[in-house]
Chain A
Amino acid sequence: MAQSQYIVVVGCGRLGSILASRLSSQGNSVVVIDPWESSFNNLSSEFSGFQITGDASELSVLRSAKADKADCLLAVTDKDNINLMVAQIAKNIFQVSTVLARVFDPAREKIYRNFGIATISPTQLSAEKFLANIPKN
């Protein structure tokens, strides 16, 4: 695999915990941030990174995760606006080279994609998947 990267995962829900566990088991150094300590129970036993309990909209929390040193930041909380804000801070203030944000709202996703924030919309992805699986007649 590629060289080990320093990766910050913001949000440790269902998606965040899978990403963090998978990336950690691949040998990357991973820090995961979530406001609820209980969310870290979602992490698999393969996860060997750090956990930070805190609200990522607070700058000092991002700093304590050393987000300014990260190679990659994934903003995957369940709130679009937090993801978009954290992604912009990571990209524009901390100059993190790879930043991805999850955005549920397709309208918001389109706007921010045009501003140069890389976004992934689960809504759009599942719509495409559903449509692709409907047999054509």
Chain B
Amino acid sequence: MGSGKLAYFLAKQFASKGYHITVVNTDQQEAVTFSRSLKATVIHGEGSNPTILSQAGAYQADVVLGLTGNDEDNLIACQIAQKEYGVPRTVALVNDPENRPIFEKLGISVAFSATEIIANLIEQQTSSDEIKNLLPVAEGKINVTEIALSESTSIAGKTIDEIQLPTGTLIASILRRQDVIVPGGDTVLEINDRLILISQPEYYGQLLRLLGAE
């Protein structure tokens, strides 16, 4: 449920991936526009209204997404979907980043804060060209990072076996010019290689020092 560009483009993207989508939109005019341009069932109404949820087929839904601009509407809609209609997975957008952990305590499967995500992206993009944090996986227990090997690195010309990666870290692939290499122990590292690293946060610093990227 939701309105505006976010709901529109998400619905469009998921529909094109073959998911069966129902959009609940509070704005009647926008609901009409959505219904004409989306491959989705569009219902005009309030997503936190139990009757509307039931009309939208909440009984059969696998996931309910609360994407409106109001935290409270997202919370209540997701809770009703979950508790009243047994929807197994609920995802809520929060505007106030402080509400994210609270929503998860109140039973929402996943709460995400667009503010937080955008702030992180901006920080990463402005921090360093050599290191890019691509994404945290499993709530940040694993990080996927991209690192460019600079001239100053001491490990160029060595094989992956020789450099002895710390435990809890892995070079998942190497981007070398146009090629993507899935490395083995005997792969030799070169300057300007871009390494895609998978690491547990506690070993990340060790890994960066080894690669000479810090």
- Answer yes or no: are A and B bound together in one complex: yes
Residues of A at under 8 Å CB distance from B?
A: 57-60, 79-82, 84-86, 88-89, 92-93, 105, 107-108, 111, 115
Q: Quick check: B76 and A59 within 8 Å, CB to CB?
A: no
Count, chain B residues at interface, CB 8 A: 20
Instruction: Say which residue of A58, A60, A81 sits within 8 Å of B76 (CB atoms).
Output: A81
Give A54 Cβ to nearest chain B Cβ, in Å.
11
Q: Quick check: B106 and A81 within 8 Å, CB to CB?
A: no
Q: Quick check: A108 and B105 within 8 Å, CB to CB?
A: no
A-B contact pairs, 18 of them (CB 8 A): A58-B98, A59-B98, A79-B72, A81-B48, A81-B73, A82-B72, A84-B72, A84-B75, A84-B76, A85-B71, A85-B76, A88-B106, A89-B102, A92-B105, A107-B49, A107-B50, A107-B51, A111-B50
Q: Quick check: B75 and A85 within 8 Å, CB to CB?
A: yes
Residues of B at under 8 Å CB distance from A?
A: 48-51, 70-73, 75-76, 79-80, 83-84, 96, 98-99, 102, 105-106
Give B93 Cβ to nearest chain A Cβ, in Å.
13
Chain B minimum-CB-distance residue to A91: B106
Q: Quick check: A81 and B96 within 8 Å, CB to CB?
A: no
Q: Quick check: B105 and A93 within 8 Å, CB to CB?
A: yes
Contacts of B70 in A (CB 8 A): 57, 81
Q: Quick check: A108 and B106 within 8 Å, CB to CB?
A: no
Instruction: Say which residue of A81, A92, A105 sits within 8 Å of B75 (CB atoms).
Output: A81
Q: Quick check: A111 and B84 within 8 Å, CB to CB?
A: yes
Give B162 Cβ to nearest chain A Cβ, in Å.
51
Contacts of A89 in B (CB 8 A): 102, 106
Chain A minimum-CB-distance residue to B77: A81
Chain A minimum-CB-distance residue to B51: A107
Contacts of B99 in A (CB 8 A): 57, 59
Known interface pairs A81-B48, A92-B105, A111-B50; A58-B75 also in contact (CB < 8 Å): no
